Amino acid sequence: MVDSSVVLYGQTIAYTLYVIVILLVMAWFSYQITRGGGKNIVKPALFYSFVGFLVVLGITLHIATHETIPWKPIDLNRDKIKADKVFDISIKDHRFRLPADTLRIKTGEIAHFRVTSDDLTYGFGLFRKDNSMVFQMQVVPGHMNDVMWEFVRPEVLTIRSTEYSGWKSDKMVLKDVVVIK
Amino acid sequence: MNFYKTFIDGEQGLFKPITLTPMQKLTLRFVVVGLVYYLFAVVEGMLMRVHLTAPGAVMDDKQFFAIMTAHPLVGIFGSSYTIVFGAFLFLVPFLMKKPLWSFKMANWTLWLIAIGTFVFWFAGFLSHYSPLYTLYWPLPADFTQFSVWGGTFFILGIALVMVGTFLFVINIFKTIAYNPEGHAKQPKGVLASALGFRRLKKADGSYYVSTPVAAIARGTVDTVLNAGIITFTGVLILIYMIAAILGHDLKHSAIDALLYKNWFWWGLDLIADGLVLIFVAGTWYLLATLITGKNIFMEKWARIALFVEMIASWFVWSHHLMSDQAQPQFLKIFSGEMLTIIELITQGLAFFIVLATLWQARPLKMSNPLKFLLGGLLGFALAVPAGIMQADLGLNRILHNTQWIVGPHVHVAVLIGLTMTLYSAIYLLFPILTNGAKLYSQKLANFHFWAHLLGGIGMGAFMGMAGLQGMLRRVVYHNGEFDLYMILAALAGSLLLLAFLAFFYNIVMSVGLRGVLGIFSPSGLDKDRLLPEEK
């Protein structure tokens, strides 16, 4: 099952390959424009093909992520999905208030995190022990901020604010408070 | 010529400030002020890199976040705006072959931005006012954390910058539209043509308003809209500040935080996804035509892309709010994902057109303007796709507010894409603005190029790697969680500093200390003349 670490790994590979290709193309181009000879004409057909390629690339990216990243359709349809667990969390004075000391979830369950802020704009994110991110969202005061997530493997996660809310925001970390079994 | 004499009089004593017109001097003053603030931003950036590697070694967290608040604003307003505005206030009259509408107003623009930048930077430095440039409500009005007086002066500094920006906008539009005495009368609709609402051509079939001027006009539309939003928001925050000073505590809940976030990002995004892309594309076209002496490849499409980019920039702000779950889904998908694709297309199109223009003119000499132009093109080729990836609902969930956003996207776009384009323009305009001064050292220019390119890409790459491992932006990690990446990013960042110092030294040695000071003395020549040989 795909989780965020798999997606991030895939993104790293894809973007790294792209960077290597574009660096090589620009190096080749920079060398070639200093040399004479050969054809100097650029056909309009090449230009139109490139524009078409960009259009297809841009649209394909979003379709591909919709079909391969599991949390994207869940997020778009979360008002129609019944969660297995609901956690109401509030934040005030740079402190999280959880419904229990530890939030316990089983693998395969869909959890619904409903987070509100009583003062500032914060963030809400879950992180693994190696500090990699599972997910995050913004927490805007005066609004319900909710995210639905299906956990696919057992792990212990840390909650931390993912948005700056003054220099105290660095301390907004609740270590190992989400347990996936 | 010995070192001392070169340092005082410049390379071969060729630069003579007394020969400069007021417009040349004014443009050079803009550039000098912009470069000084660029140095500010780079030094601040390095201090932050040190803090991220060794928290507490050079400052505490409060100072760190105060610098983090000022750093992008000094970079954007103090440096980029100043250099770009100065260049455009010279280039629009230069390309349209008529004087600037108001020399006095251009002077006001320079000093309002220069002083305003210093005021907000100094207010933040002293008071540690640090709501960051995003100003998420109600943080800028949270006086339990921040000094109300520090914040007041911070906002007043920004206000001065905005007034200078409004004056720039008026000057640019008036210069395009007006008919100066002693010049051939313009046809009607020149400004509409510059903005893309009318096609106005000369008898030979060429556009009446050149494509670079059209780009400047269209980017200036986003500049004024952005200035309007920032001014409105500043006034709103100032009301809370004045109330607090007078002893009244206004309710933060009177303002909807999400609505506020939408309008503020609508305005902010007009810089990142509007005027920067349009101004940069226009500058690329100008540089490509000046370097090659040829017309722009597929010029009609270049102009269409500039127009589409201007319109698209008004509708894509929601890609900054994809992690805001209360944001309507329609806006996330339509504005955030779908319309943002247009930016990939328009910027990709500009990239292709510039490369094709260069290709059709080969063989070309690898001059300083050309190599920095290629660097600028590479920067956006790296940064725009990174931005498109994060403007996806699925990927944004695991990228938002990580170092990925600010590394491979923001810093590569600004440092490699934008700054190398500006350097290209500076190297190209240097002999024009100095009446033929000679560059002191080509070796230093080469070092400047490679150190800046490798430093910028390296820093962006290591920040990006940290981001993909979960490192957040705007967070100080005190337990060395991401030390390896931060040390590598700091080393790459130090290359950027060395690159700038080499460039700065090269320029000072080219024009000499007497030349630098001479730029700031009054010119005895006619204000309406751009260059001394003009009649």
Question: What is the tens place of the pLDDT at every residue in B134-148?
Answer: 999 999 999 999 999
Average pLDDT, stretch A65-69?
94
Q: Who's near B332: CB < 8 A, 6+ residues apart? A: B318, B321, B322, B393
Q: Are the CB atoms for B83 and B422 separated by under 8 Å?
A: yes
CB contact under 8 A, B470 and A65: no
Q: Answer for the pair B430, B437: CB distance below 8 angstroms, yes or no.
A: yes
CA distance B269 to A130: 34
The total of other beta-carbon atoms located within 10 Å of residue A28's CB is 10
Residue B210, domain member (yes or no):
no
Phi-psi region of B94 (alpha: psi -120 to 50; beta: other; left: phi over 0): alpha
- Minimal Cβ distance to A66: which of B324, B352, B394: B394
pLDDT in tens, B452-505: 999 999 999 999 999 999 999 999 999 999 999 999 999 999 999 999 999 999
pLDDT at B535 over 50: no
Q: Which residues of B187-220 are buried (b: 16+ CB within 10 A; e: fewer)?
A: eebbbebbbbeeeeeeeeeebbbbbbbbbbbbbb
Q: What is the DSSP letter of B324?
A: B
Using the predicted structure, report yes or no on whether residue B231 has a pLDDT greater than 80: yes
Asked if A167 lies within 8 A of B352 by C-beta distance, the reply is no
The answer to whether the Cβ–Cβ distance between A75 and B397 falls below 8 Å is yes
According to the model, what pLDDT value does residue A176 have? 97
Comparison of pLDDT for A36 and A84, the residue scoring more: A84
**Dihedral sign, Cα of residue B17, residue B21, residue B22, residue B23:** negative
A16 to chain B, any CB pair closer than 8 A? The answer is no
User: Is B142 part of a structural domain of the chain?
Assistant: yes
- Is there a contact between B392 and A141 if contact means CB atoms under 8 Å apart? no
CB pairs under 8 A between A and B: 217
> Are B398 and A7 inside 8 Å of each other by CB?
yes
Is the residue at B307 inside a domain?
Answer: no
Is A11 in Cβ contact with B359 (below 8 Å)?
no
Is the CB of residue A163 less than 8 Å away from at least one CB of chain B? Answer: yes
DSSP string, B430-460: HHHHTTS---S-HHHHHHHHHHHHHHHHHHH
Q: What is the pLDDT of residue B2?
A: 87
- For residue A146, which residues of chain B lie inside 8 Å, CB to CB? 325
Count of the separate structural domains present in chain B: 1
Residue B293 to residues B176, B288, B290, B360: CA-CA distances in angstroms?
24, 8, 5, 11
- Partner residue opposite B61 with nearest CB, options A35, A47, A170: A170
| Domain of residue B68, residue span | 23-177+187-194
Q: Is A3 on the interface with B (CB under 8 A)?
A: no
Reported residue count of chain A is: 181
The chain-wide mean pLDDT, for chain B, equals 96
**Residue in the block written with tokens 């500039």:** B306
Number of residues that this document lists for chain B: 535
In 3D space, the residue among B97, B109, B80, B98 whose CA is nearest the CA of residue B279 turns out to be B80
Structure token pair of residue B504: 């700065």
Amino acid at B239: I
Measured between CA atoms, the residue of chain A closest to residue B398 is: A135
**Which chain A residue lies closest to B133 (C-alpha atoms)?**
A164
The percent of residues above 90 in pLDDT, for chain B, comes to: 97
Contact A179, A103 (CB under 8 A): yes
| Residue B71 forms part of a structural domain | yes
Q: Is B433 exposed, middle or buried (0-12, 13-18, 19+ CB in 10 A)?
A: buried
Q: Where are the domains of chain A?
A: 4-75, 82-180
Fold (topology level) of A82-180: Immunoglobulin-like (2.60.40)
CA of B94: how far to CAs of B84, B97, B176, B180, B302, in Å? 15, 5, 11, 14, 21
| Tokens 């390309």 -> residue | B95
Residue B154 domain-assigned (yes or no): yes
Residue A45, min C-alpha distance to chain B (Å): 11
Residue in B139, B362, B474 closest to A35 by CB: B362
Q: Residue B520 domain-assigned?
A: no
Does the distance separating the beta carbons of A26 and B374 come in below 8 Å? Answer: yes
* Statement: residue B333 has pLDDT above 90: yes
Average pLDDT value over all residues in chain A:
95
Distance CA A1, CA B78 (A): 49
Alpha-carbon gap: B360 to the closest alpha carbon of chain A (Å):
5
Quick one: tokens of B21? 């017109």
Question: Average pLDDT, stretch B196-215?
Answer: 94
Contacts of B62 in chain A (CB under 8 A): 167
Q: 3-class SS at A173?
A: strand
A95 shares contact with chain B (CB less than 8 Å) = no
**CB-CB neighbors (< 8 A) of A164 in chain B:** 65, 132, 134, 136, 474-475
pLDDT of residue B195: 97
Q: How far apart are CA A126 and CA A124, in angstroms?
A: 7
- What ipTM goes with this model? 0.95
pLDDT of residue A36: 81
> Mean pLDDT throughout B108-121?
98
What is the rounded average pLDDT of the residues A143-160? 97
Q: Do B401 and A30 touch (CB under 8 A)?
A: no
Mean pLDDT within B257-279: 95
Q: Is the pLDDT of residue B1 over 90?
A: no
Token pair recorded at residue B427 = 């190297």
Q: Which of B65, B136, B385 sits opposite A167 (nearest CB)?
A: B65
